[in-house]
Copies of this chain bind each other. A is one copy, B any other.
Amino acid sequence: MVTRRSAHHQRMRRKRRHPLGTPPGTLTVSPEAHPTSVHVMGYGPAEWMERQLTREELQELPALARSWPVVWADVEGLADLEAVQKLGAVLGLHPLALEDVLNVPQRAKVEAYDGTLFLVAQLPSFSGNLRQEQISIFLTDGIVVTFQERPGDTLALLHERIRKRGGRVRDRGADYLAYAVLDLVVDSYFPVLEGMVERMEALEDAILTAPRRDLVADIHNVKHDVRVLRRAIWPLRDALNALLRDSFPHLTPDTRIYLRDCYDHVVLAMELLENLSELCADLLDMYMSSVSYRMNEVMKVLTIIATIFMPLSVIAGIYGMNFNTEVSPWNMPELNWAWGYPFALGMMALVAGGLLYYFWRKGWLWS
């Protein structure tokens, strides 16, 4: 249960960083935030460049944006409050949006602050327990800014695609880049979901072979992870839906077709989650019916044993009575029969055999 508990704690604790009464839009940095580094790429169909920017060099961004068709500033780690504020000032990002960037985790959402499109999504990963990292995306004219909580490999795949001219990203604008980041986030759900399917299959095997008690906790554990993912992906679907439905600045109709594809993937992931959630309920049902069944089995053993041995006990008890056989011929004449003992044992065998036959007929012996 450790995993599950700590996951909650984390979520609740991280959320309540501001003390009650802090003015809205106040930027504060979490003590566990990773150190910040800003990696900038500029590219067009023909060329590309990349460099790390220090906090001071951030004000060169507008100039870079003028010289490259698309500029992508990828911020890893959220510890450097000053750098984030400077980025916000240089590119005109709204303080409430920046608060959402730092104050992780937020629900996935899409918001338009005049001239800027702001997107938040959760990137899941699973290695032993489920983790989520917030990816925040700003899209303005020719500039995309992404914020990651931790340095990670996922967006690096996109850096590589830009360098190697993989896919269409070099030929298209900033909106396509923003889509490509979102698409990577959505695709990251699938390996995590696959991992959960495997955990469930292991649980199902365990339930069918030996329903140990801790399986209930394990099933609830998976159930909890399903819910965490569901809570991450439902608002993501709503956000993508808003992107498709409403008109936002900077989004070309062509990119919209790609976003529709991305939306389809989110819906597919949601369906898999629904499926997993229903399987969790099935597993609990199976566990409970397995426990009931075993109880039944135990009760049958008890009943069979008691039903067979109690009459035997009574027979033995009867011939252990001390009635004085010499007083009258009615007093336990069996005791003085030559075949008295075999007669008693035979009676016991008969009773036991008869009851066994009865149970066999009732189908209680082999089931």
What is the interface of chain A, defined by CB distance below 8 A to chain B? Answer: 1, 5, 8-9, 12, 15-16, 18, 20-26, 94, 96, 99, 106-107, 109, 111, 113, 154, 157-158, 160-161, 166-169, 180, 183-184, 187-188, 190-191, 193-194, 197, 201, 204, 208, 210, 212-213, 216-217, 220, 223-224, 227, 231, 257-258, 260-262, 264, 267-268, 271-272, 275, 278, 282, 284-296, 298-303, 305-307, 309-314, 316-325, 327-328, 330-332, 334-342, 344-345, 348, 363-364, 367
Chain B residues contacting A294 (CB-CB under 8 Å) are 296
11 A–B contacts, CB within 8 A, in A order: A23-B180, A24-B180, A210-B363, A213-B290, A224-B282, A298-B299, A298-B303, A299-B299, A302-B303, A312-B314, A316-B318
Whether the Cβ atoms of A25 and B324 lie closer than 8 Å is no
Q: Is B313's CB under 8 angstroms from A23's CB?
A: no
Min CB–CB distance A263 → chain B (angstroms): 11
Closest 4 CB pairs of A and B: A23-B167, A316-B317, A21-B157, A328-B338
Chain B residue nearest to A154 in the complex (CB): B20
Q: Which residues of B contact A313 (CB under 8 A)?
A: 309-310, 313-314, 317
Contact yes or no, B289 A289, CB < 8 A: no
Q: How far is the CA of A140 from the CA of B301 in the complex (A)?
A: 71
Q: Residues of B contacting A213 with CB < 8 Å?
A: 290, 293
Decide if B275 touches A227 in the complex (CB within 8 Å). Answer: yes
Q: Which partner residue on chain B sits nearest A326 by CB separation?
A: B336
User: How many Å from the CB of A201 to the closest CB on chain B?
Assistant: 6
A191/B341 in contact, CB under 8 A: no
Further pairs besides A24-B183, A305-B307: 16, Cβ < 8 Å: A20-B157, A20-B191, A21-B157, A23-B169, A24-B180, A96-B258, A107-B264, A107-B267, A107-B268, A227-B278, A288-B292, A289-B291, A310-B310, A312-B317, A317-B320, A331-B337
Most interface-central of A21, A94, A106 (chain B CB within 10 A): A21
* Complex: A19 Cα to B302 Cα, angstroms: 56
Question: B184 and A20: CB pair below 8 A?
Answer: yes
Which listed residue (B21, B217, B292, B319) contacts A158, Cβ 8 A?
B21
Nearest residue, chain B, Cβ from A197: B12
In the complex, the answer to whether B109 meets A264 with C-beta atoms within 8 Å is yes
Which residues does chain B contribute within 8 Å of A323, judged by CB atoms?
319, 334-335, 340-341, 344
With A and B bound together, what is the CA distance between A257 and B340 in angstroms? 93
Output the least CB separation between A67 and chain B (Å): 26
